[in-house]
Amino acid sequence: MIITLTANPSLDRTATLDAPLARGQVQRVSGVTVEPGGKGVNVARAIHYAGHPVTAVLPAPDSDPILAALRQLGVAYRTVEVAEGVRMNLTLTEPDGTTTKLNEPGPLLTDALVEQLAALVVEQATGAEWVVLSGSLPPGVPHDFYATLVRRLRPLGVKVAVDTSDEPLQALVDNFPDAAPDLLKPNSDELAQLTGADAEQLEAAAKAGDPSAAVSASRSLVDRGVRAVMGTLGASGAVLVTSEGAWHASPPPIVPRSTVGAGDSSVAGYVLADCGGEAAPDRLRTAVAYGSAAASKAGSALPKPEDLNTAEVVVTELG
Ligand SMILES: O=P(O)(O)OC[C@@]1(O)O[C@H](CO)[C@@H](O)[C@@H]1O
């Protein structure tokens, strides 16, 4: 069983544009989809499609359309009941695959609701293989929420993955090694932010086939207690660093349609491969196959096992 927490779930509304976005103009959209989203919800969806037991934990009113959508997909969930509906995040996709996201802050959670949410995750985590803590935190939730939760989860013996950004990510790192998770999934900006590396240089080097800056940044986090750091590098694939070694995986060729959910899919792939007993290089291979399959799908659509092109992911062991 895998548990995902989405403290700030969303309904993802994707508008497809037939022409490049023209700022300040009225433009017609050619299609709209609405899907249940938020990073942990996406991870849960991809895991569910793979046939692995999963429960998504999230705050939402009982009548919220996100819950109806999850029921329709057959994704199991547990909620903390809140009064205000989940936020609506807007994605604009342009013909060349450029994706623009406008994310709302989300509804305020009171201290009592924050504690109910943490207690629900701890309850569900008992006996689970992994808990995945993903996404931003809505107003009212302290920045160190994930740090506190990792500390509460560790005694249960469950593995913990964290994928977040900005202050919650910084607060987590500030609380290492006590709050160090089993998997941290920063993107290149986050890796640079956390380690003082230059984001542009790190990305440019990875694009040119040299992921060493991403590896050193990831290694500095492993040195501070994280079991595995998977740094995602967009079209340049991802690196995985553990205390045993470092690997880079380049993705299979795809036509990118929407990057929304690519990072979440890579987390799902990593955790699924770990549950299947795969070694580090194959966990990275599966993660990158999942991430690139998601990027080749429209809107917030997530990959199913038949969408994966694992054979064309090239994994290289690095020194
Ligand atoms: O605002 P956050 O929590 O950082 O990110 C939320 C979000 O952009 O992440 C998912 C894609 O990763 C989307 O489903 C959702 O809209």
Mean pLDDT of 38-51: 98
DSSP annotation string for 88-139: EEEEEE-TTS-EEEE--------HHHHHHHHHHHHHHHTT-SEEEEES---T
Identify the structural domains of the chain with CATH numbers, from first to last.
Answer: 2-317 (3.40.1190.20)
pLDDT recorded at residue 222 = 97
State percent of the chain over pLDDT 70.
100
Q: Decide whether any atom of ligand 1 lies within 6 Å of the 263 Cβ.
A: yes
For 55-101, how does the pLDDT look when each residue is reduced to its tens digit (9 = 90+)? 999 999 999 999 999 999 999 999 999 999 999 999 999 988 888 99
Phi, psi of 100 (to 5 degrees): -115, 130
Measured in whole angstroms, the distance separating CA 308 from the mean position of its chain's CA atoms is 18
ipTM over 0.95: yes
pLDDT recorded at residue 200 = 87
Q: Decide whether any atom of ligand 1 lies within 6 Å of the 211 Cβ.
A: no
For tokens 């090239």, name the residue. Answer: 314
b/e burial code for range 252-272 (CB count within 10 A of at least 16 → b): bebebbbbbbbbbbbbbbbbb
Calculate how far, in angstroms, residue 287's C-alpha sits from the geometric centre of ligand 1: 18
pLDDT recorded at residue 259 = 86
State percent of the chain over pLDDT 90.
89
Query: Residue 165 CA: which ligand 1 atom is closest?
Result: 4
Across the chain, mean pLDDT equals 95
Which band of pLDDT confidence, cut at 50, 70 and 90, is reported for residue 178? very high
Residue 196 has pLDDT above 90, yes or no: no
For 272-318, how does the pLDDT look when each residue is reduced to its tens digit (9 = 90+)? 999 999 999 999 999 999 999 999 998 888 999 999 999 999 999 99
pLDDT recorded at residue 37 = 97
Calculate how far, in angstroms, residue 283's C-alpha sits from the geometric centre of ligand 1: 23
Q: Decide whether any atom of ligand 1 lies within 6 Å of the 9 Cβ.
A: no
Q: Decide whether any atom of ligand 1 lies within 6 Å of the 99 Cβ.
A: no
For 94-149, how does the pLDDT look when each residue is reduced to its tens digit (9 = 90+)? 988 888 999 999 999 999 999 999 999 999 999 999 999 999 999 999 999 999 99
Gap between the Cα atoms of 167 and 309, Å rounded: 35
pLDDT recorded at residue 98 = 87
Burial class of residue 292 (count of CB atoms within 10 Å of its CB; 0-12, 13-18, 19+): buried
Whether residue 240 contacts residue 266, with contact meaning beta carbons closer than 8 Å, is answered with: no
For 231-244, how does the pLDDT look when each residue is reduced to its tens digit (9 = 90+)? 999 999 999 999 99
CA dihedral 28, 29, 34, 40 (to 10 degrees): -110
Calculate how far, in angstroms, residue 37's C-alpha sits from the geometric centre of ligand 1: 7
Q: Decide whether any atom of ligand 1 lies within 6 Å of the 35 Cβ.
A: no
Mean pLDDT of 9-37: 95
